[in-house]
Amino acid sequence: LTSTIDLCNTIMGTGLMSIPYAFATVGIGYGSFLILCSAAATWFSVRLLISSAQLAYGTGEPSYGALARTAMGRQGAMWADIAMSACCYGFAVSYLVSIADSMPKAAAILFPEFIVGSWLYHLFQIPQFWMFAFLVLIAPLCYAKSVDEFWWFSSTCLGAALYIAFAVILLSYSAPHPHKGVDQHEDIPWFSVRIEAFQTISIYIFAFTCHQNIFSVYNEVGATYRGESVAPETVRHIRRVVDLSIIAVAILYLAVGICGFLAFGNSSMVLILDNFPDTPFITFARLMYALLAALSVPIQVHPCRACLDSVLTTFAYQSRYTRLLAYHTLAETITSPITAAPYMTSNLFWYAHRSLHSAMQQEHSRSYILTTSILVFTYLMSLWFNTLEDVLSFVGGTGGVIMCFVMPALFYWNL
């Protein structure tokens, strides 16, 4: 259950509130068809990654970078890591833009000018302020080794996503400007393609992206063991987790997309919450939307940091993992029965321990520098984009396609 929730949190993001807008550009029929096609394509590509990890057994716990090195060599893995880091970086930018779209409107209701004063009211209406404030709040999560260290993380993300989804579904029936098809049961465009449909294709791709964190779930279930083949029952467990997660999210997307489109039709906005009046129910939904976006940033920062770290170690003579393995082998050699040279053995053990300690310190420093750089450049890039639609179109149409569909097929083909 925990693995399923974690994977659902990875799949669901701010794109959930853009599904009605995507439906408005193609109609209910095409929209539902594209949701199902995107879900099926994601399911197939994730299955390819799992099968590739099985074929590359004996390399320890799999990761996207380790699998890329096994399948494509060191140089190929470097480009795979670059594509993955760029994609995760783009997703993190989209989450900050989502905060900028949601929080000023919620703050205008929660903190009116006659209560907080003119200066503070105008400060709360600046989108850049909210992006920076939320970035500071989630910084500890980004610097942590894993978000799994925080017991409340998964349940909070899932609760926020479910609340805003059910808010849209329930309030769609009482919308002040419903689509006329709701009352008259006519003129509901099931199949209609607008010019904006070419931009919304990337929204469907973005909606099901989970490949950057699939191996964290893979390792959590315990599907691989160093030097051993994968247990069949464990692989079946992982596949069930993937199946349940994708099916559950697809059903939620269909419900939100259909209800939101029937309520507002072609007037559906990129952020469907903007179509509703500013009631307390919707204001709280905006807060939950901003919270979901903020908590989704660390989910992207961690794989982005790992990929950038892998790219940096590619230029070194020997990667960090190889050095640690060498230290482990040296320690085993030292602890073996050696009686001829106790002084040499003691010096070797001291040198190995000191070198390992130095390597771990360098790893922590590099992780801190990479995380800081990612957060700073994420904030700067979020200032460049004006709307969530621009970010979703850019990320989903470039890095999302490469990471979701191109790389898994290449991995499986080469293995």
DSSP secondary structure string, 33-72?
HHHHHHHHHHHHHHHHHHHHHHHTTTSSS--HHHHHHHHH
Using the predicted structure, report yes or no on whether residue 408 has a pLDDT greater than 80: yes
- The per-residue pLDDT for 116 is 60
- The per-residue pLDDT for 377 is 92
Token pair for residue 96? 């900050």
Residues in the chain: 415
- The per-residue pLDDT for 223 is 46
Q: Which residue has the higher pLDDT, 306 or 185?
A: 306
Nearest to 157, CA basis, from 6, 44, 46: 6
- The per-residue pLDDT for 114 is 63
Across the range 211-222, mean pLDDT stands at: 75
Task: Answer yes or no: are the C-beta atoms of 382 and 93 closer than 8 Å.
Answer: yes
- The per-residue pLDDT for 315 is 64
Computed from CA positions of residues 329, 335, 339, 343, in that sequence, does the dihedral angle turn out positive or negative? positive
Residue 225 β-bridge partners? 228
Q: What is the DSSP letter of 207?
A: H
Percent of the chain whose predicted confidence (pLDDT) is above 90: 8
Q: Provide the pLDDT confidence category of residue 226 given band limits of 50, 70 and 90.
A: very low
Average pLDDT over the chain, rounded to an integer = 75
**Domain spans of the chain, in order of start:** 2-299+386-414
* Residue 38, C-beta contacts closer than 8 angstroms, at least 6 positions apart: 204, 205, 207, 208
* Residue 33, C-beta contacts closer than 8 angstroms, at least 6 positions apart: none
List, for residues 62-109, the tens digit of each pLDDT value. 677 778 888 887 777 888 888 888 888 888 888 898 888 888 888 888
Computed from CA positions of residues 231, 238, 222, 60, in that sequence, does the dihedral angle turn out positive or negative? positive
List, for residues 230-279, the tens digit of each pLDDT value. 556 667 788 888 889 899 999 999 999 888 888 887 788 888 888 888 88
Largest CA distance in the chain: 94
Token pair for residue 118? 């003119």
List, for residues 360-389, the tens digit of each pLDDT value. 556 677 888 899 999 999 899 888 876 766
List, for residues 96-150, the tens digit of each pLDDT value. 988 888 888 888 888 876 666 677 878 888 888 999 999 999 998 888 877 666 6
Residue type, position 50, single letter: I
Cβ count near 179 (within 10 Å): 22
The CA distance from 66 to 216, in Å, is 13
Task: Answer yes or no: are the C-beta atoms of 268 and 260 closer than 8 Å.
Answer: yes
Q: Provide the pLDDT confidence category of residue 197 given band limits of 50, 70 and 90.
A: low
Direct distance between the N- and C-terminal alpha carbons of the chain, in angstroms, rounded to an integer: 31
Mean pLDDT: which of 52-66, 176-190, 259-273, 282-296 is highest?
Answer: 282-296
